[in-house]
């Protein structure tokens, strides 16, 4: 039997559940998640190989409308990363909300007009709908937006219809040798995942208190087999943000470190010794050279 292999972009507006969907498909955490929009900043590939089929899912930052509070170099980078993921893919999963269409959904839809690959519309979070009969007119209304290869109501969180979504994607994989070893699950390094896990904990714990002018740089990643030594630097733009991140008597940074370390130990299958500290680097989120040096690079 011949092998199939293809790239599948998961796109949608911010905070619609793209990373949750990819983690559900892969059966483990590859992309970080939080309730905050724009938690995902990079393209992250998740690889799933089943028998002769290899799916290379590309999780993308949420495509968003640029505005006065979203007009920094980092916002431009995220929109470009999401748009770039649509090039040369074999299939697109367009994720939307169970009941609401926004201007940002229109932004994504407009980007998809230039895509030749089949687009599957996945209507997420249907587990939150009490009156399931109300879903039918919504699905009918979505059919008028464009020609979709399929429309599926799903729950990325609970797994409802996710297997059906994967079966639909499988129809569009071209015949090809597998690009990755069958046991590989992401193109990203452990070092990258460590930085993302720290950033996830900051985003989850601080929410609105700390805006998006925060990133994480791994300064040391030393794997000694049973113990991994990691030093992570959290960069913020203002002194006040540094105080918030450290917290009273250092309690906040201790909690962030503890939660990140537990997730890292699960991901790396080893004991982790994690050191965290905070540094102010003014204007990094609007400085293209600084962004490149911090790994925000489309290449």
Map out the domains of the chain as residue ranges. Answer: 4-171, 190-294
Consult the annotation and say whether 52 binds a ligand. no
Separation of alpha carbons 3 and 52, rounded Å? 5
Q: Concatenated DSSP letters for 133-154?
A: GGHHHHHHHHHTTS--SEEEE-
Consult the annotation and say whether 127 binds a ligand. yes
Consult the annotation and say whether 125 binds a ligand. yes
- pTM of the complete model: 0.81
Separation of alpha carbons 55 and 3, rounded Å? 11
Consult the annotation and say whether 63 binds a ligand. yes
Separation of alpha carbons 56 and 178, rounded Å? 10
13 and 107 Cβ atoms separated by less than 8 Å: yes
Consult the annotation and say whether 59 binds a ligand. yes
| CB atoms closer than 10 angstroms to residue 150 | 17
For residue 228, list its beta bridge partners.
223, 272
Strand 150-153 relative to strand 119-124: parallel, antiparallel, unpaired? parallel
pLDDT at position 293 is: 76
Consult the annotation and say whether 14 binds a ligand. yes
Structure tokens at 131: 């009156």
Consult the annotation and say whether 281 binds a ligand. no
pLDDT string in tens for the chain (299-residue length): 589 999 999 998 888 899 899 999 999 888 766 566 555 566 788 999 999 999 999 887 666 555 555 557 767 766 676 667 677 889 999 999 887 888 889 988 988 988 889 999 999 988 877 777 778 888 888 888 899 999 999 999 999 999 999 999 999 999 999 999 999 999 888 998 999 899 889 988 887 666 567 889 999 999 998 999 999 999 998 899 999 999 999 999 999 999 999 999 998 999 999 999 999 988 877 777 877 777 776 55
Helix axes 190-206, 251-268, angle to 10 degrees: 140
Identify the CATH homologous superfamily for domain 4-171.
P-loop containing nucleotide triphosphate hydrolases (3.40.50.300)
Consult the annotation and say whether 19 binds a ligand. yes
DSSP state of 212: S
Separation of alpha carbons 189 and 241, rounded Å? 28
CATH class for the region spanning 190-294: alpha beta
b (16+ CB within 10 A) / e for 14-46: bbbbbbbbbbbbbeebbbbbbebbbbbbbbbbb
Q: Concatenated DSSP letters for 12-43?
A: -STTSSHHHHHHHHHTS--S---SSTT---S-
Separation of alpha carbons 33 and 83, rounded Å? 20
- Residue owning tokens 């089929």: 53
Structure tokens at 71: 């007009």
For residue 272, list its beta bridge partners.
228
For residue 233, list its beta bridge partners.
217, 277
Consult the annotation and say whether 27 binds a ligand. no
Consult the annotation and say whether 181 binds a ligand. no
Consult the annotation and say whether 17 binds a ligand. yes
Give alpha helix (H) positions in the chain: 18-26, 73-84, 103-112, 135-143, 162-170, 190-206, 239-246, 251-268, 288-293
Consult the annotation and say whether 16 binds a ligand. yes
């Amino acid at each position: 039997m011949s092998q199939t292999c293809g790239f599948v972009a998961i796109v949608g507006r911010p905070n619609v559940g793209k990373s949750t969907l990819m983690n559900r498909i892969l059966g483990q955490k590859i992309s970080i998640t939080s309730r905050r929009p724009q938690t995902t900043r990079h393209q992250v590939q998740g690889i799933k190989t089943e028998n002769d089929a290899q799916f290379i899912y590309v999780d993308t930052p949420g495509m968003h409308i640029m505005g006065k509070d979203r007009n920094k170099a980092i916002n431009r980078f995220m929109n470009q990363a999401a748009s770039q993921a649509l090039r040369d893919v074999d299939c697109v999963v367009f994720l939307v909300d169970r009941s609401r269409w926004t201007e940002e959904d229109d932004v994504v839809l407009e980007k998809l007009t230039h895509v030749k690959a089949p687009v599957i519309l996945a209507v997420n979070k249907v587990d939150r709908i009490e009156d399931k009969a109300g879903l039918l007119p919504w699905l009918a209304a979505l059919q008028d937006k464009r020609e979709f290869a399929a429309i599926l109501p799903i729950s990325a969180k609970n797994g409802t219809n996710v297997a059906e979504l994967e079966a639909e994607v499988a129809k569009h994989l071209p015949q090809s040798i597998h690009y990755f070893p069958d046991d590989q699950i992401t193109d990203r390094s452990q070092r990258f995942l460590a930085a993302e896990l720290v950033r996830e904990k900051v985003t989850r714990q601080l929410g609105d208190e700390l805006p998006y002018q925060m990133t994480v740089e791994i300064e040391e990643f030393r794997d000694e087999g049973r113990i991994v030594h990691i030093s992570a630097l959290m960069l913020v733009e203002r002194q006040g943000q540094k105080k918030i991140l450290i917290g009273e008597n250092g309690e906040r940074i201790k909690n962030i470190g503890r939660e990140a370390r537990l997730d890292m130990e699960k991901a790396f299958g080893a004991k982790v010794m994690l050191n965290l500290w905070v540094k102010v680097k003014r204007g990094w989120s609007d400085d293209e050279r600084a962004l490149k040096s911090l790994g925000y690079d489309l290449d």
